[in-house]
């Protein structure tokens, strides 16, 4: 049976995806530098000037154009149902495939997600699980609002290491229970469980499409 994935919002701009990749790599590089460098100071000046110019193009109202009362002054809302890290470097970047109430994929955390020395910050792991399990539900055609999220840290999760993620879900009459594990060489590093209230796709508010000009 073909399942229609849930989406809510517009696709990101190609430029946003390129910027996310560059920024993620750039910050990791800068954080690994041992000494001050004139190149970094010059780059910071260039980025600051570019941001000031781009800010002139931003909508006057940064509230997203969602629902019945939106106005032309508001910003477009970008779909957050899956692959948020593709366009927002604050979110982890991963690969993930879903089928038959299960999903699996890989993730490698760069330096900008560091907490303890050489270890991924636990808050980013919680964010990662939230993204993965949201994508699992959206890709399998039934999602809803998260009501509980719990993470158990079993072993330190290393940076710069390819890790495996395995996820599954169970459907109750009004709840979705989702589970995921992050593994290295078959050993569980951390695991998460999320409960969500089953949503009604027909009740989702309208999202204003991206304008062409």
SS3 per residue for the chain: CCCCCCCCCECCCHHHHHHHHHHHHHHHHHHCCCCCCHHHHHHHHHHHHHHHHHHCCCCCCCCECECCCCCCCCECCECCCCCHHHCCCCCCCEEEEEECCEEEEEECCCHHHECCCCEECHHHHHHHHHHHHHHHHHHCCCCEEEEEEEEEECCCCECCCCEEEEEEEEECCCEEEEEEEEEECCEEEEEEEEEEEECCHHHCCCECCCCCC
Q: Which residues does residue 65 pair with via DSSP β-bridges, in sequence order?
A: none
Sign for the pseudo-dihedral over CA of 153, 160, 169, 131: positive
In a domain, 4, yes or no: no
In a domain, 76, yes or no: yes
Q: What is the pLDDT of residues 130-186, one digit of tens each?
A: 999 999 999 999 898 999 999 999 999 999 999 999 999 999 888 999 999 999 999
Number of domains in the chain: 1
pTM metric for this prediction: 0.93
Which CATH number goes with the domain that contains 114? 3.10.129.10
In a domain, 8, yes or no: no
* Domain with 54 in it: 14-203
Comparing CA positions, the residue from 128, 16, 34, 127 lying closest to residue 76 is: 16
**What torsion do the CA atoms of 12, 15, 21, 23 make, to the nearest 10 degrees?**
-110
Task: Examine the pLDDT at 213 and tell me if it is beyond 80.
Answer: no
In a domain, 212, yes or no: no
In a domain, 213, yes or no: no
Q: What is the pLDDT of residues 65-115, one digit of tens each?
A: 999 999 999 999 999 999 999 999 999 999 999 988 999 999 999 999 999
What pLDDT score was predicted for residue 2?
61
Sign for the pseudo-dihedral over CA of 141, 147, 152, 153: positive
In a domain, 156, yes or no: yes
Task: Examine the pLDDT at 28 and tell me if it is beyond 90.
Answer: yes
In a domain, 100, yes or no: yes
What pLDDT score was predicted for residue 175?
93
In a domain, 7, yes or no: no
């Amino acid at each position: 049976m073909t399942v229609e994935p849930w989406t809510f919002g517009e696709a990101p701009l190609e430029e946003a995806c390129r910027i996310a990749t560059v920024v993620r790599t750039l910050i990791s590089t800068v954080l690994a530098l041992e000494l001050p460098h004139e190149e970094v100071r010059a780059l910071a000046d260039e980025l600051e000037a570019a941001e000031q110019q781009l800010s002139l193009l931003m909508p006057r109202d940064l509230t997203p154009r969602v629902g019945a009362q939106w106005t032309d002054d508001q910003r477009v809302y970008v779909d957050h149902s899956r692959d948020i890290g593709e366009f927002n470097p604050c979110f982890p970047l991963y690969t993930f495939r879903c089928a038959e109430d299960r999903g699996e994929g890989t993730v490698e955390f760069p330096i900008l997600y560091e907490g303890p020395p050489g270890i991924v910050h636990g808050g980013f792991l919680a964010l990662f699980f939230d993204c993965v399990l949201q994508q699992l539900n959206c890709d399998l055609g039934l999602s809803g609002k998260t009501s509980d999220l719990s993470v158990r840290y079993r072993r330190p999760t290393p940076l710069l290491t390819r890790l495996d993620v395995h996820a599954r879900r169970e459907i109750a009459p009004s709840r979705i229970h989702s589970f995921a594990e992050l593994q290295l060489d078959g050993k569980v590093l951390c695991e998460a469980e999320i409960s969500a209230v089953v949503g009604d796709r027909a009740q989702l508010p309208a999202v204003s499409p991206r304008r062409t000009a």
